[in-house]
Structure 1
C-alpha cells in the first residue's frame, strides 16, 4: 500500500473507522475515500456496486458494522444479523468484482465460544457454543470470516479477517441504551459526578449530545441523596480485555502493509481486567466520589474474554497504550463536548 494508493475506509465515522482514518492521515496517505451513510447505504447492493464503479478503490478497511452492548444485542438480534450480513457481503463481493488488491475485514472477539479456553487462539473458532446474548452478531461476523476465506479460495483474492478485542476511544457510542461496557461506565460516572455537583444544566446538555438517559438513571440523578449511586450490570467478576481504538488503527495499517497471508488474526493487548477493576479505574479518572453498586439480576455475559495475540506479535506488532492511559484519553474526548 503506497502513500498515493486509493483507500476506502468503510464506516469512517464510527469508533474503528474514524481511528483508522486519523492514523492514515497522520501517516500522510493522500488518496482516502470516505462516504457517509446518507450518501451510501452499504446494505444496498446496487448502491455499493455503483460506488465501486465510480471510485475504484485499491485497498479497503471494512470497519462499517452495526454494533452495540449486551442490551442492544439481546433486544435487537434480527437487526444485528441482517444489517451486518448485508454490509459485509455487499462490500466483499464488490471488492472482488472491482479488483481490489487487499481488504481488511474487521470482526469481533465475540466470534469465539462462550467457554473457549483462555487466552483464545484463532483456531478455537467454531469449537463450541456462542454467548447467547450476542450470538446473532457473532454469527454474522463468523459468516464474514468464511466469506473472506471462500473468495480467497475460489477467486484468489487477498481478503484478511482480523478480530479485535473490546474497543474504546474517541467517537465511541455513549448511548446508554446501546453502548458497550466501558463508554457506558464513563458516561454513568460522569453524569453522577455532575449530579453530585448540582450541575443539572450540564446533564441536560449531555443528554442532548449523547442520547437519552434511561428512567432509572435519571431517577437516581435527581434523588434527594447528595451523591447518587452508580449502578452497573452484573457481578463485576467477568474479565475483559480492552484495546484503545488508535492502537487498533495502528495494528490494522501495519497488517495491511506487512501481512501477506489471508488467515484470521486476533488484535488485542494480551492483558485483561475484571469489570470491577475497570469500573474503579473509570471512577477515579472521572473523579466521582460516590458509591458504585452491581445489579446482579443483570447478565454478566461471557465469564472471560482474552485473546491470544502471539500470532500478531510474531508478525511484529504489539499494543502501546495502557488501559488507564486509554480511559483518560477517552474520558477527555467525551468530556470535551
Structure 2
C-alpha cells in the first residue's frame, strides 16, 4: 500500500507504551491526521459510545493498541477483568470500524497466544495447537479472539484487518509498578533503587537460565506501520485467510542472567548478582520465529543494550510520571 499521509488514522490506546510509540512513528513519517481519545473522552467498553465516535470521525485506518495489560500477579488476581475488558474493547472497535466502512485495521496481540509448550522458536502455525499458560489464559484467549475477529470480518465482509503478535516489549512509557510490571521495567527499577541506596548485592528470582526475547517498543511501532502499509498482494502472499497474524520480534534471545548483567551495566550497579533458585523460573525458553516478517521486508534495528539505555533514560527522567504505584 502506498503511503497516504493525509489518511485519517485512529490510534486506540495512545497513552500506553505501544500506542504512544505508534503515534510517534506516524508523526515521524509525516502523517498529519492522527486522532487519539483518552478514557476521559471515550470509554472503549461502551459499545454505543464507540459506534458514535467512529460514525462522527470517519476514519481511514485504525491501530488497535488499547488493552488491559498486567503481569502474572495481576492476571492471576483479576482474570475476569482481563478477559471481559479485552474482549469488549476489541469487539467494539472492530465492529465499529466495519459498520463505518473502515477498510484498514491493525490489531496488536501478544506472544502469550501460543501454547505453553510450543516448539521453539514459536511459529504462527502453533496457534491453537496446545494448552495455554494457565496464569494468563483469560488474557491470551481474548487476544486469540481478536485475531479471529479480524480474520472473520475479512472472510465475511472483505475487510483488510491485520494482526501482529509482539514478543516481550519494553521502552518509554512502560509500567514500573512493583507488583504488576514485566521483567525489564521491574529489573530497571530495582537496579536503579539499589544504586541509590548503595547496595552491594541484588537478589534476582530464579536461576537466571531461562531465555527470553525482548523488543524495543519503537521497533514494534515501526513493524506495525510497516505491516499496515504493505501492499495487499505482498501481504496476502505471506499469510493465509485462517492464519493471518504475523510475529514481531528480534529473533534473538538471551538468558535472564545475561539480561541482569546488561541492566547492571546500564544502571551503574557494581555489586554482586545473586540468583534465588528457590523461586520459579517459568518456561525455559520463549522465542518468536520472525521469518514471515523478514520475508515481508522488516527486521528489528535496536539492539538490547541500546534499547535498555533508552528505556532507563526515560525512567530516570520521568520517574514521577512513570506508573510506579
Q: Deviations over 1:53-112 (max 9, x none)?
A: 111111011000111122222222221111111111111111111111210000001111
Residue of structure 2 aligned with 1:315, choices 293, 296, 311:
296
Trace 1:163-174 onto structure 2 (pairs within 5 A).
Answer: 163-174=165-176
> TM-score normalised to the size of structure 2?
0.91
Structure 1 residue ranges, 4+ long, deviating more than 4 angstroms after superposition: none
Question: Who is 1:114 aligned against?
Answer: 116
Whether the 8 Å CA contact 1:73–1:134 is kept in 2: the answer is: yes
Structure-2 change in CA distance of 1:297 and 1:136 (3 Å): farther
Q: Which runs of 5+ in 1 are unaligned?
A: 197-226
- Count of aligned pairs between the two proteins: 307
Distance in 2, matches of 1:298 and 1:86, equals 35
Residue of structure 2 aligned with 1:104, choices 96, 103, 106:
106
Distance in 2, matches of 1:127 and 1:294, equals 34
Distance in 2, matches of 1:119 and 1:259, equals 27
TM superposition shift of 1:259: 4.9
TM superposition shift of 1:46: 1.1
Whether the 8 Å CA contact 1:12–1:64 is kept in 2: the answer is: yes
Trace 1:191-230 onto structure 2 (pairs within 5 A).
Answer: 191-196=193-198, 227=199, 229-230=201-202
> TM-score normalised to the size of structure 1?
0.88
User: Residue 164 of structure 2: SS of its match in structure 1?
Assistant: strand
Residue of structure 1 aligned with 2:203, choices 231, 238, 241:
231
Q: Which runs of 5+ in 2 are unaligned?
A: 319-325
Question: Who is 1:254 aligned against?
Answer: 226
Trace 1:1-337 onto structure 2 (pairs within 5 A).
Answer: 1-196=3-198, 227=199, 229-260=201-232, 261=236, 263-337=244-318
User: Residue 242 of structure 1: SS of its match in structure 2?
Assistant: strand
RMSD: 1.3
Question: Who is 1:214 aligned against?
Answer: none
Whether the 8 Å CA contact 2:205–2:275 is kept in 1: the answer is: yes
Distance in 1, matches of 2:121 and 2:294, equals 14
User: Residue 241 of structure 1: SS of its match in structure 2?
Assistant: strand
TM superposition shift of 1:257: 0.8
